[in-house]
Structure 1
Amino acid sequence: MRHLIGSNLLMTVGCGVIIEYNEQILLQHRKDHDVWGIPGGVMEPGELFEETAIRETNEETGLTVRKLKLFGIYSGDEGYSRYENGDLVYSVQIIFFTTEFSGEIIQSTDESHEHRFFSRNELPPLNQH
């Protein structure tokens, strides 16, 4: 798509999951923006929102999430972003919540430095996109 539109604005749909365990939230320290955020990523054509959330969470954390509940749908001015390479995007975010997951956390991936559970009152500054 980018070879057709260059760095012009592209609209995307992102899906993420808030994973809670023992009253703590799992966050990933991202490599691309050097910020903390919830696991998630961009929807592929033909996917359901839940499928995107499950796939992206597994790719980024190694965990398989289940019993997703809709947490919120986010749009508005905060959805605009410019990537390091100059590409412009506008992202609508579909966020889910779960306490049901299995697997072992992968600490370092192509996209993450680490994953860590934080209590709600000790959350680090979060990525807003």
Structure 2
Amino acid sequence: MGYVLKLRQQVGHQPLVVVGAAVLATNAVGEIALVKRIDNHCWGLPAGSTEPGETTEATAQRELREETGLTVTDVQLVQVFSGPAMHYQYPNGDVIDSVTILYRGMVTGGTLVTTTDETAGAAFFALDQLPQPLTPLTAYMLSRLQA
């Protein structure tokens, strides 16, 4: 059980400030990997919360591997996102104010896995042909990159 899930046992659905990472994992033709989440049925960047003692770079790489089966060996910082637009309530009622560090990396290995215990799909998409709906946090982060 992860750090945030353990906290949830203590605080219930109360808002938590959660630090995490997401990754723009690109393939050889510049498409990005997205996953379709089971909890809200939306497409989003591979992402998750940072565990104690873990760097956010390692979080980005771990979440990509867990959610897609893919690996990136060199991630580069893109931007840090926080504030009111990063407030989110999960379908189960859990509330977070996310501080998400977004990285970019070229896929260097692995085999795309389309389903996991958290995802109902995974695929590569061109930035001008993204699937809908996107998770609110992914939509916000991608919109800020194109602004």
Partner of 1:10: 16
1:107 maps onto 2:114 in alignment = yes
Check conservation: 2:83, 2:97, Cα contact below 8 A.
no
Q: Which among 53, 61, 64 is matched to residue 60 of structure 2?
A: 53
CA RMSD of aligned residues (A): 1.3
In structure 2, what residue type is equivalent to 1:59? E
In structure 1, what residue type is equivalent to 2:34? L
Which structure carries more relative contact order (alpha carbon 8 Å, separation 6+)?
1
Q: TM-score, normalised by structure 2?
A: 0.82
Change (3 A) 1:3 1:24: closer
1:127 maps onto 2:113 in alignment = no
Going by fraction, where is strand more abundant, 1 or 2? Answer: 1
Structure 1 runs (4+) greater than 6 angstroms displaced: none
Displacement of 1:103: 0.8
Identity %: 38
In structure 2, what residue type is equivalent to 1:20? T
Partner of 2:85: 78
Give the count of matched residue pairs. 129
> Residue 128 of structure 2: SS of its match in structure 1?
helix
Consecutive unaligned residues of structure 1, counting only runs of 5 or more, are none
Partner of 1:63: 70
Counterpart CA distance in 1 for 2:65 and 2:13 is 29
Change (3 A) 1:83 1:120: closer
> Residue 121 of structure 1: SS of its match in structure 2?
coil
Displacement of 1:128: 2.6
1:32 maps onto 2:19 in alignment = no
In structure 2, what residue type is equivalent to 1:46? G
Displacement of 1:100: 3.7
Counterpart CA distance in 1 for 2:30 and 2:9 is 45
Displacement of 1:7: 1.7
Q: TM-score, normalised by structure 1?
A: 0.93
Going by fraction, where is helix more abundant, 1 or 2? Answer: 2
Counterpart CA distance in 1 for 2:80 and 2:125 is 23
Check conservation: 2:70, 2:107, Cα contact below 8 A.
no
Change (3 A) 1:3 1:111: closer
